[in-house]
Amino acid sequence: MPTRVITDVAYAEPVGRAHLLDLYLPDGGDDPDGPHDPDDLRPLVIWTGGSAWLAGNGKDSAGPIAAVFNPLGYVVAGVSIRSSTQAVFPAQLDDIRTAIAWLHGHAHDHGIDPGRIAVMGDSSGGWTTVMAALTDDHVRAAVAFYPPTDFRRMDEQMLPGASAAFNERMGLTDCHNDPLSPESRLIGCAVQSCPERADAASPLTYVGRREAPIMLLHGGSDALVPHGQSVLLYEALKANGSTATFYSVPGAGHDWRAVLDPSTQDGTTVRDTAHGRERVGHTPPTWAAIERFIRAALDGR
């Protein structure tokens, strides 16, 4: 299916590469002369890629996502929010919600169904995804790859030896609690020294306020964002009676391609609460399974 791409659309006053989005339209589906027929409106997947909140370029990794979802009839929007070097939390949450509001308000101009909006992202983009799902009424489905969910518990959940490797990789001395760690930069102070700020930026805090159905995918070999972060969020969603699906992929690290790679998926467990009681299985995640989850959520099934 042909795709038309509209790049660098400003959803707010641009700040470097932030506050811009790219639209990937199946069938060249943008009509510059006016709104679309309501019967032809398409669902929307918003993608924001991870950078440890250090780069305002989340839209730049949307191409592979559009390659999956455009042929299935979805519009895809790659969205860039501000980095922690440009602003501290809650600026990033404000940005994704502003982008969602812009896309909702301009939906008919681009053939988008404003009632069928899903959000997806990885790592810090996964954090952005679940924060949007937990706070924004326009979001109807969310798919998050390995999101941080409780900043103050990240270090206790790190794999053996991973903290030292994390410090070396990031130039730190105190892992996620270091004042220069990604999470500490995001909130403007070391996460253990300012618990109120850390909790305000942790998705776990927002469970129960509202949420769209959420899918979590996390590798058991993730040495950057501990696998236990998705466990915490899934368990909280389950306890709240929310609709959630959690793919735990033992052999995958911090890479969404690895999470979806059959070579890493031996021993995968999938848990879901979609029918009022938890079901546990061993089917590995695929793009087809992710799309079915999104479509079911958008269609209210």
The pLDDT of residue 33 is: 43
Read off the pLDDT of residues 234-284 as tens digits, 9 standing for 90 and up.
999 999 999 999 999 999 999 999 999 999 999 999 999 977 789 999 999
228 burial type by CB count under 10 A (0-12 exposed, 13-18 middle, 19+ buried)? buried
For 10, the token pair is 């400003």
Please tell me the distance from the alpha carbon of residue 295 to that of residue 292, in angstroms, as a whole number. 5
Average pLDDT, the chain: 95
Is the pLDDT at 32 greater than 50? The verdict is no
How do residues 114-151 score in pLDDT, each as one tens digit?
999 999 999 999 999 999 999 999 999 999 999 999 99
pLDDT score of 206 more than 90: yes
53 touches 91 (CB < 8 A): no
Residue 296 burial (C-beta neighbours within 10 Å; 0-12, 13-18, 19+)? middle
- Give the phi and the psi of residue 210 in degrees, each rounded to 5: -175, 150
pLDDT tens for 53-96 read: 999 999 999 999 999 999 999 999 999 999 999 999 999 999 99
Task: Please give the pLDDT value at position 210.
Answer: 85
The CA-based diameter of the chain, rounded to the nearest angstrom, is: 58
Q: What's the average model confidence in pLDDT over 172-200? A: 98
Task: Say whether pLDDT at 39 is over 80.
Answer: no
- Helix or strand (DSSP H, E) at 143: strand 141-145
Task: List the domain boundaries for the chain.
Answer: 3-150+202-298, 152-200
Q: Rounded CA gap, 182 and 184, in Å?
A: 6
pLDDT confidence tier of residue 36, bands split at 50, 70 and 90: low
Mean pLDDT of 20-42: 72
What CATH number was assigned to the domain covering residues 3-150+202-298? 3.40.50.1820
Question: What one-character-per-residue DSSP string does 34-92 give?
Answer: SPPPGGG-EEEEEEE--STT--S-GGGG-HHHHHHHGGGT-EEEEE----TTT--TTHH
The pTM assigned to this predicted structure is: 0.95
pLDDT tens digits, residue range 94-120?
A: 999 999 999 999 999 999 999 999 999
pLDDT, position 275: 73
**Which long-range contacts link 166-172 to residues 24+ away (Cβ below 8 Å)?**
166/223, 166/224
Between CA 41 and CA 180 the distance in angstroms is 44
Between 209 and 156, residue with greater pLDDT:
156
> Do β-strands 244-249 and 214-219 pair in parallel, antiparallel, or remain unpaired?
parallel
CA–CA distance, 202 with 200 (Å, rounded to integer) = 6
Q: Which amino acid is at 91?
A: A
CA distance 54 to 124: 9
Handedness of CA 116, 73, 258, 51 (dihedral sign): negative
The two beta strands, 141-145 and 112-122, are parallel
79 has which bridge partners? Answer: 21
